[in-house]
Amino acid sequence: MVTQEQVKEKLESVLVPSVMRSLVKMNLVREINIEDGKVDITLGSATMTPDVQEWLKKKIEEDTKLDDVDTVNVSFTDGLPKDFNEIGNVIAVMSGKGGVGKSLVASLAAVSLQRQGYEVGILDADITGPSIPRMFGINTRPVGSESGILPVSSRSGVEVMSMNLLLGAESDAVIWRGPLIGKAITQFWEEVLWGKLDYLVVDLPPGTADAPLTVLQTLPVSGIIIVSTPQDLTSMVVKKAVNMARQMSKPIIGVVENMSYLYVSEIDKKLEIFGKSRGQEMAADAGVPLLANLPVDPELAKLCDEGKVELYNTDVLAGFEDSLSQAVKVLP
C-alpha cells in the first residue's frame, strides 16, 4: 500500500514553475487522502494562476502514479497566502538613524541563518528606501495571481519581497504617504505566499518615528536586532531604539555594531576610524548580547554593490553567525 509519506516525498520534488520552490515548502499541500488505490490531493491555490494549477495537476497526477496507485486526483482549495503562511519567528532589524548599515545587517542575518540550514525570508519593510534586492542582485519581478504573489528566491534560496521588485525600474522613487506605507506592509504580510519559513527577517524603515512603529504594530515581530555605529556619538539613538522596542514589548535579541573599525593588513591593526567602539557598552546598557562588531570592509561594500552579499565569508561573519544562532534560542 502506498503511504502518505511516499506521496509527500513525491510532492516535495514538485517545484512550482518560475519560482522553483517545492509545494511542500510553500505549504500548499493541504490534504492527502489514500483509499483503495485512490489518491486524493488537495492543494492551496493561493498565487497560482489557472495555467499553473493545470500544469501542477498534470505533473502531480503523473509523478504520484506509484506502483499500487490506480488513480490520482488533484484538487484546489482557495485561500489567501496568509492562510498558508507558517512562519516560525519574525526578526526585525532596527536602527536609530539611517545609513548605518541596517539593510546590510538584515541581509547578513538572513544569510547567516540560511547557512545554518534554516528556511529564511526577508521582508523589505523600508518602503521608501528599499535596498535588499540590490544587495542580493535580484531584479526579477515577482509572479502570482489575483490571490497573491510569491517572493523571489535569491541565489542561495533566501525568499525576498521588496517594493523594489514591484516597481518598473530599480531606480523608481517611491513617494508614498504614511497610510499607504502601512498598507504595503500589511500586503507584504498577508498577500505574499512565504510558505513555511523558520525565520522572516524584516528590514525596518530607519529611525524611531512613525514608519518603523507602524511595521512593529503590523507584524508579529518576535525579536529585534539593533544596529549601531561608533558614530552614534551619544548612545541616545540606540537608547531610543531600545526604549521603543521595550514600549512595544518586543524583546531585543542583540546589538550589532557596524563600521566598528577598519582592518589594515599592512600594519596588522584595527583602526577605529569612526571613533571608539561602543557596541559592547551599548549592548550591556540594554542588557542584551553584542552580536558582532562588523568592520568597514571594502570587499563587503563591493559585494553589496554587485548584488553578491551572499558570497561574503569572513571570520567576523562566522562569529556573527555563531552569536546569532545562540541569540535566536531565546525566541519562542
Residues near ligand ADP (CB under 6 A) are 95, 98-104, 131, 206, 258-259, 294, 296-297, 300-301, 304
| Identity of the residue, 66 or 273, whose beta carbon is nearer to ligand ADP in the bound complex | 273
Q: How far is the CB of 55 from ligand ADP (least distance, A)?
A: 38
The continuous run of DSSP H or E covering 300 comes out as helix 298-305
Question: 322, 323, 247, 316: which is closest to 288 by C-alpha?
Answer: 323
Q: Which is nearer to ligand ADP, 288 or 300 (CB)?
A: 300
**C-beta closer to ligand ADP: residue 52 or 93:** 93
CB of residue 151 vs ligand ADP: minimum separation in angstroms?
Answer: 19
DSSP labels, 194-205? --EEEEEEEEPP
Angstrom distance (rounded) from CA 108 to CA 324: 10
Residue 271 interacts, among ligand ADP, Mg ion, none and using kind-specific CB cut-offs from 5 to 8 Å, with: none
CA distances to 25, 131, 163, 300, 309 from 304, rounded to whole Å, are 28, 10, 18, 6, 5
What does 296 interact with, of Mg ion, ligand ADP, none (CB < 5 to 8 A by kind)? ligand ADP
Q: Which of 45, 64, 103, 277 touches Mg ion (CB under 5 A)?
A: 103
256's CB contacts (< 8 A; 6+ apart) are 105, 225, 226, 227, 228, 279, 290, 291, 292, 294, 320
Partner that binds at residue 275, options Mg ion, ligand ADP, none, CB closer than 5 to 8 Å by kind = none
Specify the residue, 41 or 303, whose C-beta has the smaller distance to ligand ADP: 303
Q: Exactly one of 95, 107, 114, 131 binds Mg ion (CB under 5 A); which one?
A: 131
Nearest C-alpha neighbor of 240 from the set 104, 76, 149, 232: 232
| Choice between 200 and 237, CB closer to ligand ADP | 237
Whichever of 19 and 120 has its CB closer to ligand ADP, that residue is 120
Please state, in angstroms and rounded to a whole number, the distance separating the CA atoms of residues 16 and 129: 30
Q: How far is the CB of 78 from ligand ADP (least distance, A)?
A: 38
Min separation Cβ 3 and Mg ion, Å: 48
The C-alpha cell 509527500 sits at 8
What is the sign of the dihedral through the CA atoms of 57, 58, 64 and 66? positive
Tell me the number of residues near Mg ion by CB under 5 A.
2
Of 296, 298, 292, 300, the C-alpha closest to 318 is 292
Binding at 297: pick from ligand ADP, Mg ion, none (beta carbon under 5-8 Å per type): ligand ADP
Q: Whose Cβ is closer to ligand ADP: residue 75's or residue 313's? A: 313
The stretch among 112-120, 128-136, 173-181, 286-294 that binds Mg ion (CB under 5 A) is: 128-136
Which one of ligand ADP, Mg ion, none interacts with residue 258, CB within 5 to 8 A by kind?
Answer: ligand ADP
CB 118 within 8 A of CB 25: no
The minimum distance between CB 217 and ligand ADP, in angstroms, equals 21
Q: Amino acid identity, residue 155? A: R
The residue ranges that bind Mg ion (CB under 5 A) are: 103, 131
